[in-house]
Structure 1
Amino acid sequence: MNRQVKQVLGLSAFAAGCMALGMGLSHGWQAQAQEEKPVMVEAKGMDRLPPIADVAEKLNPTVVAITNTSFVKNQRFQHPQIGGDDFFDFFFGPGGPQQRRTPRGGNDGEQRAVSGGSGVIISPQGEILTNYHVIASMGEGDNALEVKTSDGRSFKAAVLGKDKELDIALIKIDAAHLPFAKLGESDSLRIGEWVVAIGNPFGLEHTVTQGIISAKGRKLDTGVSSFLQTDAAINRGNSGGPLLNLKGEVVGINTAINPAGQNIGFAVPISQVNRILKDLRSGKPVSRGYLGVGPTDLDQAYQDALGVREGVVVSTVEKGQAADKAGVLRLDVITAVDGQPVRSQDELVSVISSRRAGETVKLSVWRDGKTLTFTVTLGDRKALDAQRRRDSGEEPEDEGSPKPQGDVKGVNLEKTYGFTVEPMDLKHRLKGVVVTSVDPRSPAAERGMAPGMVITEVGRQAVNNLTEFNAQVKKAGGKTLLLFIQSPNGSQKVTLAIPPR
C-alpha cells in the first residue's frame, strides 16, 4: 500500500513538473510573440475627413494673382507691307478673333512679355511673399507688377526685397486692413502630413489642391535651399502661392515642379524664409554666411579611413576664408554646428547659409581621433560670389538696377501716344498711314497696336495720307485717338482707342 502511494505521489509530482514546465514554455512563447508584433498605428479620427474645405474657405482671401509685364529684346521690325496678315494675328489670333497675343515691335527692338504667378499676403498692410522668378524681369530693362486680390481689386506693386538664391521675394501693395496668413514652422513637419496648395495655375485663379508632405530636405541644384516635396498638384502659375498646413499656416512657398513626373512639386520651407524676412523688409541684400570649405559626405570609405561614423568631410579649404582663418584643415570631419549634428553636406550648407555674414558659430570637428571645437566668424557668400565674377572678368550681377534703354526716335506722336507712322507705299491699294513702331511701354502697346497696321480713319474722318493724318492728330489736341485700323490687304479691321501717355 505504501509502495502504491509512493508511486502515485511520484507520478503526481512528475505531472505537476511537466505542467509547470509547459506553462513556463507557454509564457516564454507568449512573451516572444508579444515582442514580435507587427508595426501598427492607432487609428484616430477615422470618421472625420481633414478640414481641407475650411482651410480653402478661410485662406483663399489671402492669396493673390501677380502679373509681371517686362520687356525683352527681339529682332528689329521689318516693314510688313510685303506679305500677308501674320502681324495682325496678335489681336485676332490665326483666322479670326480668338485670342490676343503679345504686341511686337518697337524701335529699340523690344517686345512686351507678360507672365503670371501667385503670392500670399502676410500682413494687413499689403506685404506679399512670392517667388523671385515671378517678379524678376525677363528682359534687360525694368518691369511692372500688378496684384489682383480675391475681391477683384487690382494694385500696382513695389518690390521690397528679393533673394535669388532662395527664389523668394517680398513685394508690397498700397492697401490696408487686408486678410493675411500666418507664417507657420516647417522644421517640425512630418512626412505624410496633410497640406493644401492655393494658387493660380494657368490663370485659373484661386485653385485649391491637397496632398501630403512627400519628403523633406530635397536638393534640386547647387543652391542654398533644401525643398519640401509634396504631391499636392502644382502647375505653372502656382509659383509663389502658399503651401498650408491644416491650421491654415503657411509652411512653404510653392516654387517648382518636376515636369517629367506627376504630382511631384516643391516648396521653399517657410522656416528658411523666416530667417531672411528681416533682410527682405529692409530692402538690403540678403546676408548669408559662408564657411569656405568644400564639403563631402562621409561614406563608408571615409568612415574606415578617418575612424568616425557621422559628420561631413572637409574636402577642400579655401585660403583666407572663414574656416581657414579659424584653423580648420582638409580631412577634418565637421560633426556639429553650435551643437546641432550635421550628417550630410546639404545639412551643413543649409545650416551655415541660414546664418548671417559676420556671425560666429562653433564647429565640432573630429581630427585624428579627437573632438576639437573651433569658433568661426562667417564670411559673406554674396560678396565672395561677386569677387569671383570680378576675378573671372565678369561683371557682378546687380539685381536692382535696370540697364539703360535706347532712346526711341520719333516726333510728337511718339512722345504723346507711343507710336510712329509713315506714308503708305504708292503700290499699296489701301489709303492711309502705316504704323512703323510702337513703344512697348506705351498705352498704344497696351491697347494692342503693332507695327504694320494701316490707319485709315481717325474718329470717323478718313485719312488718305500722312498730311491728313497729322491734321487729325493735331485736331485731337492730345486727347484719346480713335483709330480705325486694317490689315494690309484690308481683310481684317478693328477700332482702337489710344489714350495719351
Structure 2
Amino acid sequence: MASRISREKKRGPWVRYLMLLALLLIPSFLLSASSSNNFFKKAERYTVRVYSSTIVALEGAERGSSEGSGFVVHIDRREGVAYVATNKHVIDEGISSIQVSFKDGERFPATPIYIDPVYDFGMIKFELNESGVPANAVSAELGRSRTVEVGHPVGTFGNPMSLEYCATEGIISSVTNSPWGYDGAFLQTDAAINPGNSGGPLISLRNGKVIGINTAVSDESEGIGWSLAVDQLKPVIEQVIAGELPYAGRMGWLGVNLEEINLDRAREDFGAQYGFNHPRKALLVIDVFPKTPAARSGLQPGDVIYLINWMMPQDYADYLAMMRDVAGQNCEMLLYRLGQEIELEVEVEDRGELRPKEYVAFAGMTIQPTSPTVYESYYSMFSLECVFISDVLEGSSAEAWGMYSGYPIRGAIVNLNYHQIKSLDDFWNAVKDVAPGQPVEFFVGSPDNGWIIKVVYYYPSEAPLRERVEH
C-alpha cells in the first residue's frame, strides 16, 4: 500500500502539469473557433450569390444560366449603390443579365461595370433601394495578400454546387504556384473550392480580412485550389469605384514566359553562373515566342530582368502592373546576360488589341478564335490552328452531350462534321446551316491532353449566332 501511494505522489506533479496545460490550450482552441465563426457571420453580410443568364438575341429565348459568388467591396449610401468584386468568368462570356442575392434574400438586378483585360476579375454594382438588400449589409475589409505565408489559416465562403452560403477552412499551401492559363499572383489553398465558389472571398482567419478571390480548382486532384491575390486588385477596385477606367483599359504584352527568381536563387545560382550579384528579386526569361515584341527586341531565354523603366519587379504581379502603364509604348529594360549588364528597348504591344473581336454562340457553347497571345504561348509549339470553347452553359445541349470548355488546353476544336476548322469563319460556315436535331460531330481536345469525338444535337433556341465582342 505504501509503495502504491508513493508512486501516486510521484505522478502527482506530472498530472497537475498536464491538467494546467490542458486548461491553457482549451481556451485558445475555443477562442480560435469563436473567431472563425464571427468572421463567417460577417461574411454573410457582404457575400452575394451571382446569377448570370444569356439570351438568344434573334429569338429572345433564354439559353441557360449559371451561378457564382461575389462580395461587396464598397457601399456608397449617398449615391445609393454598392460595388461587388467577382471573377470575370462569372459575369462575362456573353452574359445578358445578372441578378444577385444576399443570404435568405430575394434576387435583384445588378449591372456589370468592369471586366479586366488580364486578370480573371470583374465588378458589378446594384442599387441599395432594391427590396432584397438587407439593411445590415457591409463592405468586406481587404487585407494584405503579399504578407501571407504558407500555413496561414484561411476560409472560403460562397455558394458551391448551388448550395447557399457554405464555409470551408484550410491553410495557404503555396504563395508561388498558379493555375495553368491564368495571369496574376495567386494564393494556393487546400480549403475546398467548388463550382459556385468562383468570385467569393478567401478570408484570413487571423483577422477576418479578405485576401483573395476564389478562382480555380484542380480537376485532377483534391485539396488544390487557387484564389486571385487581392493586393494586385486594390488599385483597380479603387479606380472603378472612382469612376475611372483602370490603366485606360489597356494592357501591355511582350510575348515571353517569365519565372520569378527569389533572393537566394538570384545570389547563389545566378551569382555563380552569370555573375549576377544584384541584391533584389528579379525575373528569369524562360521562353521568347516568335514574332513578338520580345523577340524583335532581342530578349533571349536565360536573360534576367531586374529593371523595367527603372522600376524593380519583385514578382510576376509587379511585372503585370508595370505592363499596364506601357501598352503601345516603348519601355526600357536592364538585364543580366551571362554576367553582362545589357540595356534593351522594347516596343510593347497593346494586349487588348490582340484579344478576339467576335465569337459564335452555338448549342450552349461560346466559341472563340485563339488570340495571338495564346497562340504564341501554347498552340504555336504544335503548329496548330483552331478555335476553342471558352464556355459551356449549365443545362445546355452541349453540356448534356458531354462538351467541355478548357481554354486554352482542353477545349480546342480542329474538325467539325469532317471539315477542318482553323478559324472562326470556318466554324461559322460549318454550323450556320445545321438544322435543330441534326447531329454535329466535333473533334475536340488538345495536343497534349488527347482528342475525342463528340456528337451534339441542339434545340432551336440554341441556334448559331455570331456576335462582335466589345472590349
Structure 2 matches for 1:75-154, cutoff 5 A? 112-124=63-75, 125-137=81-93, 143-150=96-103, 152-154=105-107
Post-superposition offset of 1:196: 1.8
Is 1:159 the equivalent of 2:112?
yes
Q: Distance in 2 between matches of 1:134 and 1:259?
A: 18
Contact 1:256 1:267 in 2 (8 A): yes
State which of 237, 242, 251 in structure 2 corresponds to 1:288.
251
Say if 2:273 and 2:338, in contact at 8 Å, map to a contact too.
Answer: no
Q: What is the CA–CA distance in structure 2 between the aligned matches of 1:112 and 1:317, rounded to whole Å?
A: 38
Pairwise CA distance, 1:223: 3.2
Partner Cα separation in structure 2 for residue 297 and residue 55 of structure 1: 33
Moved more, 168-177 or 212-221: 168-177
Per-residue deviation at 1:321? 3.0
Residue 270 (structure 1) aligns with: 230
Q: Does 1:189 align with 2:148?
A: yes
CA separation of 1:307 and 1:187: change in aligned 2, threshold 3 A = same
Which of 142, 151, 175 is the equivalent residue of 1:216?
175
Q: Give the direction of change, closer, same or farther, for the CA distance of 1:332–1:250 in structure 2 (3 Å limit).
A: same
- Residues 333 and 173 of structure 1: CA distance in aligned 2, closer, same or farther (over 3 Å): same
Letter in 1 for 2:123: L
TM-score, L = length of structure 2: 0.56
Structure-to-structure mapping, 1:26-425, within 5 angstroms: 46=28, 48-49=31-32, 51-71=35-55, 112-124=63-75, 125-137=81-93, 143-150=96-103, 152-163=105-116, 165-175=118-128, 178-245=137-204, 246-277=206-237, 278=239, 282=244, 286-293=249-256, 295=258, 306-308=274-276, 311-313=283-285, 315-316=287-288, 321=293, 324=296, 332-337=303-308, 338=310, 340=312, 350=320, 352-353=322-323, 355=325, 357=327, 363-373=333-343, 378-385=348-355, 389=371
CA-to-aligned-CA distance 1:253-275 (integer Å, 9 cap, x gap):
11122233223221111122224
Identity %: 27
Distance 2:213 2:41 in 1: 19
**TM-score, scaled relative to structure 1:** 0.53
Unmatched 5+ stretches in structure 1: 1-42, 74-106, 407-436, 441-501
* Equivalent residues of 1:288, 1:357 under 8 A apart: yes
For residue 175 of structure 2, give the secondary structure of its aligned residue in structure 1: strand
Q: Is the 8 A contact 1:311 1:333 kept in 2?
A: yes
> Aligned partners of 1:286, 1:378: CA distance in 2, in Å?
15
Could you report, residue by residue, the CA deviation over 1:430-471 in whole angstroms, capped at 9, with x for unpaired residues? Answer: xxxxxxx9979xxxxxxxxxxxxxxxxxxxxxxxxxxxxxxx
Q: Which has the larger radius of gyration?
A: 1
Task: Report how far residue 198 of structure 1 moved.
Answer: 1.0
RMSD between aligned alpha carbons? 4.5
Distance 1:315 1:268, change over 3 A: closer
Distance change >3 Å, CA 350–CA 121, structure 1 → 2:
same
- Deviation, structure 1 residue 323: 8.1
User: What is the CA-CA distance between 1:340 and the residue it aligns to?
Assistant: 3.1
Checking the alignment, whether the CA contact within 8 Å between 1:334 and 1:342 is kept in structure 2 is no
Deviation at 1:152, TM superposition (A): 0.9
CA distance in 1, matches of 2:372, 2:155: 44
1:126 partner SS: strand
The answer as to whether partners of 1:215 and 1:230 remain within 8 angstroms in 2 is yes
Which residue number corresponds to residue 29 of structure 1?
Answer: none
Contact persistence 2:51–2:100 (CA under 8 A): yes
* Contact preservation (8 Å) 1:197, 1:209: yes
- SS of residue paired to 2:37: helix
Whether the aligned pair in 2 keeps the contact of 1:217 and 1:227 (CA below 8 Å) is yes
Q: SS of 2:231's equivalent? A: helix
Gap change, CA 1:68 and 1:319, over 3 Å in 2: closer
- Matched length: 323
CA gap of 1:237–1:363, structure 2 versus 1, over 3 A, is: same
Compute the displacement of 1:366 (Å): 1.2
* Residue type at the aligned position of 1:154: R
Larger RCO (CA within 8 A; separation ≥ 6): 1
Is residue 69–residue 114 contact of structure 1 (8 Å, CA) maintained in 2? yes
